[in-house]
């Protein structure tokens, strides 16, 4: 079986500015991977390349051995940085839309998670708080039976007290052979769910370690290590 994600010497330049440089990475199945780095380090650029929304200047992305295409869109479930949902729609209507659109969408799972997070399917998206809208989007993305979930800054707008609950609700529903790649600035809140971390700096991969390696060998939290590596 091919690794779920391979990036081979991936470079992306915007007007000759290298947002991502010679980036190589192989991700195996069945792990939750944190993509961490300061603002402007290239996280969203990488995520857009993996989703086929940007074309690399050079290098390759392979998902389950395939370049991004219609088939890879079926096995990748992507939460973009910004909302793309029509906010006049009711949550129930959006769920029906996803159910029609994606063969691997599990409607019952979405409805169950909504209930657990206290969101009415009859609410219109625009009447919900920013945090609840984020929850709905995350639920939609995680309700697909995908092989690779890519989450660009999930739960940023959710209040800190609710973040752990949301993450554990969502994660308790996902298939353990799938891989989740998530970018975040909320390292302390998210690190206890991560298996592996990637540090990006100026478009380059400067660290790729399992969380256990960092915790047991370096005896540090990911948050502490991040602050040490990226101190201003």
Ligand X SMILES: Nc1ncnc2c1ncn2[C@@H]1O[C@H](COP(=O)(O)OP(=O)(O)OP(=O)(O)O)[C@@H](O)[C@H]1O
**Interface positions with ligand X (CB under 6 A):** 14, 17, 19, 37, 39-45
Nearest distance, CB of residue 112 and ligand X, angstroms:
31
C-alpha 35/C-alpha 183 separation (Å) is 4
Looking at the Cβ atoms of 19 and 186, the one nearer to ligand X is: 19
Nearest distance, CB of residue 49 and ligand X, angstroms:
10
C-alpha 71/C-alpha 104 separation (Å) is 13
Contacts of 217 (CB under 8 A, 6+ apart): none
Report the phi/psi class of residue 153: left, alpha or beta, with left for phi > 0 and alpha for psi in -120 to 50: left
Nearest distance, CB of residue 214 and ligand X, angstroms:
21
Looking at the Cβ atoms of 169 and 184, the one nearer to ligand X is: 184
Nearest distance, CB of residue 44 and ligand X, angstroms:
3
C-alpha 170/C-alpha 112 separation (Å) is 11
Looking at the Cβ atoms of 47 and 91, the one nearer to ligand X is: 47
Q: Which two tokens stand for residue 45?
A: 């650029």
Nearest distance, CB of residue 229 and ligand X, angstroms:
15
C-alpha 38/C-alpha 67 separation (Å) is 28
Looking at the Cβ atoms of 17 and 84, the one nearer to ligand X is: 17
Nearest distance, CB of residue 194 and ligand X, angstroms:
17
Looking at the Cβ atoms of 63 and 198, the one nearer to ligand X is: 198
Q: Which of 31, 44, 39 is nearest to 185 (CA)?
A: 39
Looking at the Cβ atoms of 39 and 231, the one nearer to ligand X is: 39
Q: Which of 172, 152, 173, 155 is nearest to 163 (CA)?
A: 155
C-alpha 232/C-alpha 228 separation (Å) is 9
Q: Which two tokens stand for residue 217?
A: 């060998």
Strand pairing class (196-201; 204-210): antiparallel
């Amino acid at each position: 079986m091919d690794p779920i994600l391979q990036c081979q010497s991936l470079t992306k330049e915007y007007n000759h500015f290298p947002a991502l440089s010679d980036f190589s990475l192989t991700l195996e199945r069945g792990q939750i991977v944190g993509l961490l780095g300061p603002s402007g380090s290239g996280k969203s650029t990488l995520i857009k390349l993996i989703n086929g929304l940007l074309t690399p200047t050079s290098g390759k992305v392979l998902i389950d051995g395939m370049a991004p295409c219609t088939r890879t869109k079926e096995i990748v479930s992507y939460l973009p940085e910004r909302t793309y949902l029509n906010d006049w729609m009711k949550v129930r209507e959006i769920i029906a839309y996803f159910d029609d659109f994606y063969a691997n969408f599990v409607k019952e799972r979405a409805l169950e998670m909504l209930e657990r997070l206290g969101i009415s399917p009859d609410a219109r998206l625009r009447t919900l708080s920013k945090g609840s809208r984020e929850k709905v989007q995350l639920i939609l993305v995680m309700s697909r039976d995908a092989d690779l979930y890519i989450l660009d800054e999930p739960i940023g707008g959710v209040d800190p007290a609710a973040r752990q609950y949301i993450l554990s609700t969502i994660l308790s529903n996902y298939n353990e052979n799938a891989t989740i790649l998530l970018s975040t600035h909320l390292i302390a809140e998210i690190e206890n769910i991560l298996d592996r971390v990637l540090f990006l700096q100026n478009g380059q991969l400067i660290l790729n370690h399992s969380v256990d390696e960092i915790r047991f060998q370096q005896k540090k939290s990911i948050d502490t290590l991040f602050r040490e590596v990226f101190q201003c």
